[in-house]
Amino acid sequence: MKQKLIIAASGLLLAALLVFAAIQFTDVSASESITEGEARELIKDRYQGEILNVKKVNSTYLIEMKKDEAFYQIKLSENGGEILSFEKKEQTPNGEQKQLDEEKIKEIIRVEESGELLSMKKMTYKEKPAFEAIVQKDEAKIKITVDALTGEVLSRFAEETKVPVKNLTEEEAIQIALKNEPGEVDDISFEKTDSGSYYLVEIEKDDGREAAVQIHAITGTVMSVTWDD
């Protein structure tokens, strides 16, 4: 009977030690943020593998690891060091790392940059296989280059979208001129200068006078009114 009690007690002690080890394995509390260096050491110590790359995206560390000729991608929470996912990467027959598929690349881009994905294509970036994506975000187009093997963002370039300048139509210019000087339109011409473009609308008044109304071709502002008696 005593022997059974000793075995049971040993089992409980071992279970307690395992729980304690699991708690210690977390290294930090759930409310405490860890640095990139700490994330690197945490994964290295836990899995005894070679850390190839560490990248932080929002509050998640994306970690590439090699162990026993196999490659793994690990997602680690910045808050507390929790393992969010652990995936083994497939290898091609000749031992080279398999490229990520387009859906995986799109997922990485969505995490990296919010906005509408306009286009995405395969390319070579500094002798590396990569994907180049164009994302529309607010008034800017953002070009993102992603490593096709690791998912690392290699470059990011934002270019402000220029709204094309549109001139008023002749009819719009005439309506503005008549609102300013009622009468009968005799002629309209479009003039372009170094300082800008404008319409010149000639209006014949009921009293025989003629007004030349100068209207800014883009804003519609009446720039001047001159009279020809």
H or E element, residue 89: strand 83-89
Q: Kindly state whether residues 222 and 174 are assigned to the same domain.
A: yes
In this prediction, residue 21 carries a pLDDT of: 44
Residue 144 has pLDDT above 80, yes or no: yes
Residues 158 and 194 in one domain: no
Distance in angstroms (rounded) separating the CA atoms of residues 67 and 92: 16
| pLDDT classification of 25: cutoffs 50, 70, 90 | very low
**% of the chain exceeding 90 in pLDDT:** 38
Among 112, 142, 162, residue at a domain's last position? 162
The total number of structural domains in the chain stands at 3
Q: Are residues 70 and 150 in the same domain?
A: no
Residues 15 and 104 in one domain: no
**pLDDT classification of 216: cutoffs 50, 70, 90:** very high
Reply yes or no on whether the pLDDT at 194 is more than 70.
yes
- Residue 54 pairs in a beta bridge with 63
Same domain as 7, residue 90: yes
Q: Mean per-residue pLDDT for 153-157?
A: 91
Same-domain pairing of 1 and 42: yes
**Confidence at residue 218, expressed as pLDDT on a 0 to 100 scale:** 87
pLDDT at residue number 23 = 45
Q: What is the pLDDT of residue 17?
A: 46
What is the CATH number for 8? 3.10.450.40
DSSP 113-181: --SEEEEEEEEEETTEEEEEEEEEETTEEEEEEEETTT--EEEEEEEEPPPPP-PPPHHHHHHHHHHHS
Provide the residue range defining the domain that includes 178.
170-228
Q: Residue 122: which pLDDT band, with cuts at 50, 70 and 90?
A: very high
Pick from 119, 140, 162: which residue ends a domain?
Answer: 162
Residue 13 sits in the same domain as residue 73: yes
The per-residue pLDDT of the chain, averaged, comes to 82
Q: For residue 185, give Cα distances in angstroms to 155, 174, 192, 228.
A: 57, 8, 21, 14
